[in-house]
């Protein structure tokens, strides 16, 4: 390119390269619980607020309504969630954790905590603070 930019020298490439091994660690850990990468994020939203409507879950996770429908179908088939019509508005579907979905909170949270600690272990406190501010 004319401006001399090379993706291999960019900050985003460096961050993604650094995250790769930790993402794989999480993926392997999720597999031991019968989950696929990404399902943990949907579960985490429900652990924080069980019974949210399907549209809110889609918005919070940054997926389209069509994609969230597919994801939830799969998670229902795994026995992790159930979808029920809202009592006050039948057009709204609410997502509820099953006992199996709720039981994954502790092991999946610990899996993430371990991966995050490993990721942050050789960063300075200033670098850690900068990452936490990225939200």
Residue 97, SS3 per DSSP: strand
CA dist 85 and 49 (Å) reads: 17
CA dist 102 and 46 (Å) reads: 9
pLDDT for the residue numbered 131: 85
Torsion, Cα of 44, 47, 48, 52 (10° steps): 100
Report whether pLDDT(48) > 90: yes
Encode pLDDT of 74-127 as tens digits.
Answer: 999 999 999 999 888 888 899 999 999 999 999 999 999 999 999 889 889 998
Closest CA to 95 of 50, 39, 37, 38: 50
pLDDT for the residue numbered 86: 82
Q: Which fold has domain 7-132?
A: Arc Repressor Mutant, subunit A (1.10.10)
Encode pLDDT of 87-97 as tens digits.
Answer: 888 888 999 99
Closest CA to 67 of 26, 38, 102, 25: 38
Tokens of residue 99, six digits? 């006992």
Q: Domain limits of the chain?
A: 7-132
The interaxial angle of helices 11-31 and 39-48, nearest 10 deg, is: 80
Exposure string over 72-100, b if 16+ CB within 10 A, otherwise e? beebeeeebbeeeeeeeeeeebbbebeee
% residues pLDDT > 90 (the chain): 67
Average pLDDT, the chain: 92
Report whether pLDDT(1) > 60: no
CA dist 104 and 41 (Å) reads: 12
């Amino acid at each position: 390119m004319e401006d001399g930019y090379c993706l291999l020298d960019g900050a985003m490439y460096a961050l993604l390269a650094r995250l790769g091994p930790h993402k794989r660690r999480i993926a392997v850990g999720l597999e031991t619980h019968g989950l696929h990468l990404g399902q943990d994020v949907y579960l985490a939203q429900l652990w924080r607020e069980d019974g949210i409507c399907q549209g809110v879950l889609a918005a919070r996770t940054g997926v389209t309504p069509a994609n969230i429908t597919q994801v939830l179908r799969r998670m229902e088939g795994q026995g992790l969630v159930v979808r029920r019509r809202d009592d006050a508005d039948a057009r709204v579907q609410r997502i509820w954790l099953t006992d199996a979905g709720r039981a994954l909170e502790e092991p999946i949270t610990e899996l993430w905590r371990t991966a995050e600690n490993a990721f942050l272990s050789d960063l300075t406190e200033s670098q850690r603070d900068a990452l936490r501010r990225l939200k």
